[in-house]
Every structure is written in structure tokens, then in C-alpha cells.
Amino acid sequence: MATAELAGKHLVLGMTGGIACYKIAELTRLLTKAGATVQVAMTEAATQFITPVTMQALSGHPVYTSQWDARIDNNMPHIDLSRTAQAIVIAPASADFLAKLAHGRADDLLSTLCLARDCPLLVVPAMNRQMWANPATQRNVAQLRADGVVVLGPDSGAQACGEIGDGRMLEPQATYEAIASFFQPKCIAGRRVLVTAGPTFEPIDPVRGLTNRSSGKMGFALARAAQQAGAEVRLIAGPVSLDTPWGVVREDVETAQQMYDAVMQSAADCDVFIAVAAVADWRVDQASADKIKKTADGRVPSLAFVENPDILATVAQLPDAPYCVGFAAESSELEAHAQEKRQRKGVPLLIGNLGPQTFGRDDNEVVLVDASGTTRLARMDKNALAAALIREIARRLPDASLIS
């Protein structure tokens, strides 16, 4: 997340009383690091869990806790604070505060701010599982959703009270991702996008195998960007140690054949297939069931290979094939190789870069090759590039004009 993807965004971060207040310190850091201006307002109860001084230091702005704050010239902090905000995020949102919001009450600074707002309201509930499951809370949440309030989470799992269930606040990173996603234009809304990412691993024996240096970062960034742009995303990943992007369904595989099988299961149900994985071209014929041992005479083993199926080319040939996008890292003559590969694979769009020096890097520079020629994009970090590529893909889709 090196990108300042929330640059220019002004958020009011409203905190209500709950032990999850400790998570907001980290959330504030993530939001400010991404370029957002964060104005914190806390209820009296929230200040019992974390101090305004901490939140002031992290956000870099004075924290407001009272309706009667003399620091605001016109003495109308509820108007003043919400006027410049592009969104109000209530995190953690207690059961009591959700009830207040659902009924339009305005008896403290934060509830007044929410009622007097002219911007979207996002709430991140955090409470004990029984409070969350209570019909009154569920009724309030349903009412808030009907009023257009965006409800993020809650999560399920161990709770501060020692119980296990629904009601935990989303982790700071997940909350950050959901907020970042909220702000992205929904250029690929409603489409089902299937992405492959990472390397594959082809076993030689139970302890050895062949793989490559793909980090999976570009494929994961594309899955994240497609989700943020409104798509329903399924990610089929080779062995990588990357977190699953928020809101993305992930399936882990190891070999090229497993990736092929997983893709074929989902290919008929997707509108766009983006093949980013660095799939092994060959696998070892008859991998050994036992570890291959050294021999006393120093004889080295020889390996026989068989070709793996070409996943992208196979999907592109399906009747009613999804819109297929390939990736290619070439070591020379990028544009010529990419155009030839696009035609050979039978895909409308191929994204090429000069690799393998891009493997593992956080930025990338690519060319887009389609039937009309080549478009070069400037060097960008992988998240910004992924968002740009999703826009490029979205506008090339057959009925793109139907999508906002």
C-alpha cells in the first residue's frame, strides 16, 4: 500500500465507546499514510478507551469531543466539521450509536454531525455477539442500510468479552481497504472477474520442485483493483505469501494442472479472465513418490518433462469465452513479441512488460497490445497501475457503454 490512493480525501472519523477503539489508532495511521486528511471526533465514552491526545498525535489535527467547543469560531462544530468531509466513518460504531443513528437522534457532537451531514456515512460496528444479534440492533442496521448508510463488517471471531461470534470490528487493514474501495469509481461494476496470480510449483519429488520468481503482486493488485471498481472477483493463486485482497474470493493451488482445473471450473461463470500467473510451461513427467536419494557412484538424476496445458489459450477458445487478458514478461522486442503472443493465444488484449526484472518490484511499466496497436502506460506503483489497467479493460469490454 505504498500509494497515496486517498490523497485529497477529507474524512471525519467518529469514534464511539468500545474496546475496539484501540484499532482506530492503526486505522488512522493507514488513512493518513494513504494521503487522507483525518478529522477525529469522539464521544465521551470513546475517550474512556483511548485518549484524544493519542488520536490528535496520529491524525495531526485537533480532536473534537464536545458540541460546546469554543475553538470553533461560529460555535457550530457539527456544521463546520461535516461541511468539508467527503465521508464520515464511524469506527468503532457501538450498538447504542447505531440505535441513535437509526432514530435520527442528535444529543452529542458526533450524532449531531451525522444528522447534519451532506456526505456519505460509513459505519464499522463493534460489539458483543449478543448485542449484534439482538433484534433491536438488527432492525437498526437494516434501517441504516435502507437509509443509504454503508455498513462495513462486522467480523466474526474471538471477542474481548471472551465469547466467540459475530460483532467484532473489522481489522484496521480490512477497514482501510473497505474505505479505499468505497472511494473508487465503479467502472467495472457488476462484472465477474477471474484472475490467476503468482507462480506455479511443479514437484520433482515430495521435497523438491520447480517454480519461478513471480511474486504474485501484480495479480493480487489487479484482483484488488477489480474488486474496488465494483467487480465480483475470484482469485486463483499459486504459492505466494500475500494477504487476500478485501472482498475477493481466493482459491490456492500449487501446480499448473491444478490452476488449469480451478480456472476451468469458474471460466464459464465469468465475464473477464485476467491471466497474470507465471504458469510453468512444463512439469516433470512422473514426479517421484519418494525423495530421490544421492547414489554412491555420483550419478545425477535426469528429468523428463511434459508440457502443461495453456490455461489462457484454452479459456480464449471456449464457446462464449469471457473477455481474455494475458500478461507477458519479455526480455527483448517487447511490442513485437507481445503482439505475436496475443494473436497466438487468441486473446483481445495482452499486457506486456520487460521482465523478469519486474518480478517482486512494487512498480511496473507496461504496454497494452490489442488489435488496434500498442498503448504505453507510464511507470506506476502496482496498485495505481492495477487501477489504470482495470479502467483500460473495462472500456474495452463488448458492452462497456452499459456500465457506469
Residue 85 sits in the site that holds ligand CTP (CB under 6 A): no
**Phi, psi at 352, each rounded to 5°:** -115, 145
Residue (310 or 370) nearer to ligand CTP, CB: 310
Residue 328 sits in the site that holds ligand CTP (CB under 6 A): yes
Q: How far is the CB of 398 from ligand CTP (least distance, A)?
A: 20
Residue 312 sits in the site that holds ligand CTP (CB under 6 A): yes
- For residue 80, the tally of other CB atoms under 10 A from its CB is 18
Q: How far is the CB of 137 from ligand CTP (least distance, A)?
A: 46
Cα separation, 202 vs 282, in Å, equals: 8
Q: How far is the CB of 248 from ligand CTP (least distance, A)?
A: 18
Cα separation, 315 vs 287, in Å, equals: 27
- Binds ligand CTP by CB under 6 A, chosen from 3, 94, 308, 353: 308
Cα separation, 382 vs 194, in Å, equals: 18
- For residue 301, the tally of other CB atoms under 10 A from its CB is 11
Q: How far is the CB of 275 from ligand CTP (least distance, A)?
A: 4
Q: Mask of contacts with ligand CTP, 250-289, x by CB under 6 A?
A: ------x------------------x-x-x-x--------
Q: How far is the CB of 350 from ligand CTP (least distance, A)?
A: 8
Residues 92/125, Cβ–Cβ less than 8 Å: yes
Residue 333 sits in the site that holds ligand CTP (CB under 6 A): no
Given the residues 21, 114, 161, 187, the one annotated as active site: 161
187 labelled catalytic: no
Cα separation, 281 vs 317, in Å, equals: 19
At what angle are helices 217-228 and 172-183 packed, to 10 degrees? 60
Cα separation, 127 vs 269, in Å, equals: 37
Residue 311 sits in the site that holds ligand CTP (CB under 6 A): yes
Q: Mask of contacts with ligand CTP, 91-130, x by CB under 6 A?
A: ----------------------------------------
Site for ligand CTP in 179-208 (CB under 6 A): 196
Q: Say how many residues touch ligand CTP, by CB under 6 A.
A: 13
Q: Among residues 379, 383, 384, 386, which one has the least CA distance to residue 364?
A: 379
Residue (285 or 290) nearer to ligand CTP, CB: 285
- Binds ligand CTP by CB under 6 A, chosen from 125, 153, 326, 348: 326
Q: How far is the CB of 195 from ligand CTP (least distance, A)?
A: 10
DSSP state of 150: E
Please give the radius of gyration of the chain, using alpha carbons only, rounded to the nearest integer: 25
Triad 146, 152, 153: Cα angle to 5°: 110
210: three-class secondary structure by DSSP = strand
CA 377 to chain centre: 22
- Residues near ligand CTP, by CB under 6 A: 196, 256, 275, 277, 279, 281, 308, 310-312, 326-328
Catalytic site residues? 161
